Amino acid sequence: LTWETLEGVVKHNGPLLGDNAKGPVPESILAYNGLQDLELDTWPSIEAQVAALSDDIAYNNHDIDDGLRAGLFTIEDLGDIPLVGPTFKAVEAKYPGIEPPRLIHESIRRLIDHMVNDLLAETRRRLAEIEPRSSEDIRRVGRPVVAFSDEMRQNDRALRRFLFARMYRHFRVNRMTSKARRVVRELFSIFLAEPECLPTEWFHLAGPPGSANTARVVTDYIAGMTDRYALDEHRRLYDVHDRP
């Protein structure tokens, strides 16, 4: 990976050191930074900043869709949320009697459009203000260049608060999270204690059972799993009737 790609992966949410840092730096990042300086006290490139906010737009809007379809909240529950409520009401007013699936699809499409256009407008405004001449100007400006307007930022926070309370902390979601946590914990425990259960290519990278090197290899192996693969691997290891 190029330096710029690694920097973007590590700092896409902002600096990890200095006045703008939001928390302690993970040990793995500090260890790598000792080998190659990623300038952890600066903002990342424009590309990384775009990727971070594009991710936020996609996740928040898809979570509205998922929450509605899963029955965790209703369209009526969204009514008081800035931007979200008015957007749903505007679609209902334009298409009276519209079926709920089409209402949801069109409203979310409009929400994404509102957020993207706001992001573009505010980013253009900041670029005109800063007048950067190089990527280093972007990194050293001391604040993000790719951003929402103040109003959209407040709208985004209101949506996040709603999703946190009504979706991310819903008892059904908490139960699934608890199951996932147990699956990951049990996978880690068995591979750490019995690295010979790892696939051959991973076993060759591991060290003795319980060692720090084995823990690192097991962590990397589990981190690369999809949800389905992790569940399948857990079943193969713990279900005595399943084929290994």
Cα separation, 106 vs 126, whole angstroms: 30
pLDDT digits (tens, 9 = 90+) for 123-145: 999 999 999 999 999 998 989 99
Angle at 45 between CA 226 and CA 116, to 5 degrees: 70
Q: Which residues contact 110 (CB under 8 A, 6 or more apart)?
A: 87, 90, 91
pLDDT digits (tens, 9 = 90+) for 87-137: 999 999 999 999 999 999 999 999 999 999 999 999 999 999 999 999 999
Q: What is the pTM of this model?
A: 0.81
Per-residue pLDDT at 19: 85
pLDDT digits (tens, 9 = 90+) for 183-192: 999 999 999 9
| Residue 89 CA from chain centroid, whole number | 29
